[in-house]
Structure 1
């Protein structure tokens, strides 16, 4: 299975992320507290709408119709300047939990709450959101709190995409969006869902 890289133009007119939770929720049969237990496995899906484009231009997006391959797309963060994070790498193998140790960052770099990062695990990109505002230490290291648990432990020294994070997953195209309108434009809508 290959990962197909989608075009970066046109940028989406909307890209709405939503978590697909793996948490365990316990609700009592009678009155009592509801409990939620976090488990590894929560992944992300993005509902994406592209700006109207000509039929010919829309053909560049035909990789979305692949039945077996995953696609890779830039995660757009409008208005967020990711700055100069340095050359971030995973700092240590076998990491689990909601904290990711990184090295090789620009000292003093600030991760914003809700900022996206991505990195490969076993040849597949995984995307995560930062849980709280966090500043990199003077040695370029940081213990970065994540919104969700790590799904699989990343390899030591794996490259982390901070400046331009990307998502990888299967695409599902809204079949009605493939219609060419009377104005001869295609309004493409699809969902990209991480596969693990």
Structure 2
């Protein structure tokens, strides 16, 4: 079964965190980080309050499935307007490294440093963050430098979600959702990419 779509859930709080596969090495003069494929993202989320009935009960039913099959959530970037990037896709098959060529962008579209992007490969989302600002050329192309090494091969034509990035992964509740006297409930949970 595919990840459960919970993109309609609105958040009061979202805390991104890196899940690293690399390690630190000691060297004369200091310590340095060794990049290894497999670094990925997680988020700690707290939803906005929902009425227990009907919205809270509907979301709880979806979460029951998401705990077994994983969940799909929007990555909101408060205060940031991604604008209209066009329909960006990976320009050529990219299997390693941190550089990803894009095409299909609107001419002169500015991709911001620290902007999240998700790539859809075989129906699964892979989230990452852009590490340097770049402006698309007049031909709608740009080269992204990502924070993490690629975890999967990105075939040419892979969708790059810049305007509405999403995270997909395992769902773990931080605490059970309570049914408050005012008939409201919230959901506090963590989503961690599986691969």
When the two structures are superposed, what TM-score results if normalisation uses the length of structure 1? 0.91
User: In the aligned structure 2, how far is the partner of 1:107 from the partner of 1:48?
Assistant: 35
Paired residue total: 192
For the residue of structure 2 that corresponds to 1:160, the secondary structure is: strand
| Structure 1 runs of 4+ with >6 Å offset | none
Matches within 5 A, 1:81-100: 81-100=81-100
**Do structure 1's residue 35 and structure 2's residue 32 form an aligned pair?**
yes
Is 56-65 or 46-55 further displaced after alignment? 56-65
Structure 1 CA distance for aligned equivalents of residues 25 and 63 of structure 2: 37
Deviation at 1:169, TM superposition (A): 0.7
Alpha-carbon distance between aligned partners in 2 of 1:142 and 1:27, rounded to the nearest angstrom = 36
Equivalences for 1:27-66 in 2 at 5 Å? 27=26, 33-56=30-53, 57-62=55-60, 63-66=62-65
Deviations 1:67-88 (A, max 9, x none): 4212111110112111111110
1:112 Cα deviation from its structure 2 partner: 0.8
SS in 1 for 2:161: coil
SS of the counterpart of 1:34?
A: strand
Name the CA distance, whole Å, in 2 between partners of 1:162 and 1:148.
16
Structure 1 match to 2:21? 22
Distance (Å, rounded) in 1 between the aligned partners of 2:125 and 2:11: 20
Contiguous gaps of at least 5 residues in structure 1: none
Distance 2:143 2:165 in 1: 18
Q: Aligned ranges for residues 129-140 of structure 1 at < 5 Å?
A: 129-140=129-140
1:7 Cα deviation after fit: 4.3
Q: Which residue of 1 aligns with 2:187?
A: 188
TM-score, normalising length from structure 2?
0.92
Cα deviation for residue 32 of structure 1 reads 5.0
Cα distance in 2 between the residues matched to 1:89 and 1:103: 6
Contact 1:18 1:44 in 2 (8 A): yes
Pairwise CA RMSD of aligned residues?
1.6
Mean Cα displacement is larger for which, 76-85 or 64-73? 64-73
SS of match in other structure, 2:101: strand
1:32–1:79 distance in 2 versus 1, CA, 3 Å: closer
- Equivalent residues in 2 for 1:6-17 (5 A)? 6-9=6-9, 11-17=10-16
- The answer to whether the 8 Å contact 2:174/2:189 transfers is yes
Gaps of 5+ in 2: none
Is contact 2:7-2:72 (8 Å) kept? no
